[in-house]
Structure 1
Amino acid sequence: MTTPYVIRRDRQEVESAPALSSVEKAMVVLTELAESGKPQNLRDLTKHTGLAKATVHRLLAMLVAHRMVERIGEHYVPGDYLAGSGKRLDVDYLTLLRRESTPYLMELYKASGHTAVVGALAMKTVHYVNQVYGRYSPRMPERSTGDRLLAEAIGLVLTAYQPGSAGGAAAALGLDEVSKIRGAGIACTEDVSRGVTSVAVPVMTSGVLPMPIALAVCDRAGTVDMVTTAKMLRGAAFELARVLRRCASSAPRRTAG
C-alpha cells in the first residue's frame, strides 16, 4: 500500500519521506499554492515544498502550460482550472490594495488604538492583505478559511457581499443573515475562544476590483466602542473605495496572450 504523502514545511522531513512520483510532486506544488492563498516565487515554493529547485521549476512550467498555474511576473498563483469559479488573488491588485490601504489603517489605529486590517476574499478564504497593530493589540492571521471564515466579522462581511451571495459560500450564512449584514452594512463578532471583538465594513469598489474587500478593527473583548468604531470604519472604507476605484480604472488592462 502506498504511504500517503503529507505536505511538510520542514525540508529534512520531506527528504526522508518515501520517493514521490512526478504526479505526486506536482500535487505538492499545487496544494502549496492553493493553501497559501498568496502569490509565490520559485524560491518560496522550493522552500515550502521541500522539493529540489530544478524539480519545482520543471513542474511549474508544465502546470503553467496546462493552465493549472498562472505566472505573473516572477510569481505564481493558482490557474483557471485549479481556481475554478473562485476568484484568486492577483499580485497586481494585492500590491495596489496593500499600498493604498496603509494610510487608512494607520489612521484607524491611531484614532482607536485597535488593530486595523484590510482583507480580501479569494477562493473561499479571507486573506489579511495588510494590518497595523500595536504592542498589546491582537494580530490577525495571514488568512482564515473553513469555520474561521465565518467566526470573524470581516469574513461575514466579505461572504455577504461577494457576487452571487444568495448562493455559494454565503449559503452557510443563510439569506436572513446575508440580508441583515447588507442592510446594516456592518458585522460584529465576539470570538470567545480568543477573547477578541471584531467589527468590519465592506469597501464598495463597484466591481472594479476582482474580489470583495473589507476593513475591520479588532481588539480584546470589551474594549471596542461599537458606535465610534463603526463611524470611523465607514468613513475610512468610503475613502479607500474611492481611491481604489480611481487607481483600478486608470491602470492598464492586461490582455490574454
Structure 2
Amino acid sequence: MERTEAHRPEAGGVLGKAQAILEAFAPDDQHLSLSEIARRSGLAKATAHRLAQELLGWGVLERRGVEYGLGLRLFELGQRVPRQRILRDVARPYMQDLYQATHETIHLSIPDGREVLYLEKVFGHGQVAWPSRVAGRMPLHGPATGKVFLAFGPQSLLEEVLAEPLERLTPYTVSTPSALRREVSRVREQGFVVEREQARVGYVSVAVPLHGATGPVMAALSITAPVGRAKEAEHVALLQAASRRFGLSIGAAQQGR
C-alpha cells in the first residue's frame, strides 16, 4: 500500500489552501469535480473555485468539462529539481542493466521525512509488477529501501521513526522498536537489506544504499520479486556492483554541474 503524507504550509494561508487542493488528488485520480475537491481539501466550495481558477491559469491544474485534474506544469517543475533529476539520470542506466539481468522490478528511492519516496521505477510490459508508482510513498520501516535510510542515514531519523507507532503493512512487518533496532543493526553490519513480505505479502525486496562522492547515502536502489522468483544472493551481488558504479558516475556528474 502506498502512502501520502501532507507537508502543508499554514492551513489558513493561500499557499496552504492551494496545496490542499493539489493534495486532494489521489494517485489514481484522473479528474475530480469541484465539489469533491472542496470536500477532500476541507475548503468552502467558493474558496476552492476561486483558487482552482488561479491554479488553472498557472497550468498546475487542467480542466476537462466541469472536472479538474493535475496539470503538466507540475511535471515540468518537478523535472527542474536538480537533486532528483541528477539522481534519476545517473541511476537509470544501471536500473536498466539490473532489469535486463533479472527481469524484476527495480526501484530508485529517496527519503522524505519519515517516508520513502519512489523516484524512478523500471519494470517489464505485461509483468505483474510490484504495485508502486513513481512519486508514491511508504513508511520507512516497511520496504527494503526505507530500511536502507534508517540504517545508513542520520541516527536522528531512526529515533524519530521509533518515537511513533510502527504501522503493520502486512502480518510480517516489523512493528516493535526493539525488533526494528535489531533489524537496522543487522543491515548496518551486512551493508544491504533483504526484506521479506514486510511491505507487501508475496514479494521479497533487496536494497543497497547509493552513496555520493563525499560518502553520505543519497538514495537506495532495490530489486523486488515475487517470493517464488526471488534470488536474494544474486540480487545482492548485482545491486552492490551497480552501487559501486553509481558512486563513480554521480561524482563525475556532480563535478560537471
Whether these two folds match at TM > 0.5 is yes
Partner of 1:110: 100
Matched, 1:11 2:2: no
Residues 152-173 of structure 1 show CA distances to partners (whole Å, capped at 9, x for unaligned) of 1111112222223452236666
Q: SS in structure 2 opposite 1:104? A: helix
Partner of 1:202: 209
Residues 80-128 of structure 1 show CA distances to partners (whole Å, capped at 9, x for unaligned) of xxxxxxxxx9811111111111110111111112111211112222122
239, 245, 250: which is aligned to 1:244? 250
What value does the CA root-mean-square deviation take over the aligned residues?
A: 3.9
Partner of 1:136: 127
Partner of 2:146: 155
Residues 164-197 of structure 1 show CA distances to partners (whole Å, capped at 9, x for unaligned) of 3452236666443322111111111122744111
Partner of 2:109: 119
222, 230, 240: which is aligned to 1:234? 240
Counterparts of residues 84-95 of structure 1 (less than 5 Å): 91-95=81-85
Q: SS in structure 1 opposite 2:59? A: helix
The question of whether the paired residues in 2 share the 8 Å contact of 1:115 and 1:137 is answered with no
- Output the CA distance in 2 between the equivalents of 1:90 and 1:184: 35
Change (3 A) 1:19 1:156: same
Matched, 1:186 2:188: no
The question of whether the paired residues in 1 share the 8 Å contact of 2:150 and 2:158 is answered with no
40, 47, 60: which is aligned to 1:44? 60
* Counterpart AA for 1:202: P
- Calculate percent identity across the aligned residue pairs: 21
Change (3 A) 1:91 1:144: same
The question of whether the paired residues in 2 share the 8 Å contact of 1:200 and 1:214 is answered with yes
The TM-score with structure 1 as length reference comes to 0.63
Gaps of 5+ in 1: 30-40, 54-70, 77-88, 252-257
Change (3 A) 1:50 1:114: same
Matched, 1:224 2:214: no
Task: Tell me the CA shift for residue 50 of structure 1.
Answer: 4.7
Partner of 2:6: none
Partner of 1:84: none
* Counterpart AA for 2:24: I
